[in-house]
């Protein structure tokens, strides 16, 4: 854990994914740890905070999520674009050394025995809300957010502060075929 990681109040945790960043899903079960990239993650509720994430049946991470009932959604940065793309295109089933090859390092947060990815901009500890029809029919998983943290260099006082941070800490937004966009300039609208 680095010195910049600070807890985010759960009622503000939706703000970490509200702008649609590409995420990394990590999970562990029975001594196996995996991390995959996903573009299809989304807020679902404010209180208690919930999110949705789409996990393909072919992924090892999905099996770990289903078995463990817990997982981490974390938000990688521009500095992690290559790693994010690698773990999104390589499967642990075919490549047991995937995480080492990608340079993905894991750590634990105090009080949460889950695999968190080093170097991300924010982390959401999640507890699966089992919905068998959604999972089987749509690959759609619903979870409650039970812990949230962010790198205070880029998210503080409940807001992303990209303008004043190192551009390498900006969030990634995936299109296809290795093409990402970083998040850009702030636009503030007044009034209601």
Q: Regarding beta strands 122-129 and 112-117, do their DSSP bridges make them parallel or antiparallel, or are they unpaired?
A: unpaired
Rounded CA-CA distance 12/46 in Å is 8
For residue 84, give the H/E element and its range.
helix 81-89
Binding mask 46-85 for a second copy (x = CB under 8 A): ----x-x-x-----------------------x--xx--x
Rg (CA), the chain: 16
Residues 110-129 that bind a second copy (CB under 8 A): none
The pairing of beta strand 140-151 with beta strand 49-54: antiparallel
- By CB under 8 A, which span of 1-9, 65-73, 101-109, 173-181 interacts with a second copy? 173-181
**Closer residue to a second copy, CB minimum distance, 28 or 61:** 61
Q: Shortest Cβ distance from residue 67 to a second copy (Å)?
A: 23
**168 with 121: CB under 8 angstroms?**
no
Q: Which residues bind a second copy (CB under 8 A)?
A: 12, 15, 18-22, 39-45, 50, 52, 54, 78, 81-82, 85-86, 89-90, 133-134, 138-140, 142, 158-160, 162, 170, 172-176, 178-192
């Amino acid at each position: 854990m680095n010195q910049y990681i600070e807890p985010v109040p759960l009622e503000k945790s939706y703000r970490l994914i509200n702008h649609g960043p590409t995420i990394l899903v990590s999970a562990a079960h029975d001594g196996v740890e995996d991390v995959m990239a996903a573009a299809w993650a989304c807020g679902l509720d404010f209180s208690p905070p919930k999110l949705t994430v789409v996990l393909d049946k072919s992924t090892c991470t999905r099996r770990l999520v289903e078995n463990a009932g817990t997982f981490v959604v974390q938000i990688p940065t521009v500095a992690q674009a290559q790693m994010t793309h690698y773990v999104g295109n390589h499967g642990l089933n075919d490549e047991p050394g995937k995480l080492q090859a990608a340079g993905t390092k894991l750590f634990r947060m105090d009080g949460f025995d889950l695999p968190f990815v080093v170097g991300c901009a924010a982390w959401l500890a999640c507890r699966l809300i089992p919905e068998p029809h959604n999972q089987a029919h749509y690959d759609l998983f619903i979870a409650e957010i039970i812990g949230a943290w962010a790198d205070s260099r880029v998210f503080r006082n409940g807001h992303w502060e990209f303008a004043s941070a190192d551009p390498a800490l900006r969030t990634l937004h995936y299109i296809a075929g290795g093409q990402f966009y970083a998040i850009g300039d702030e636009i503030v609208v007044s009034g209601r």
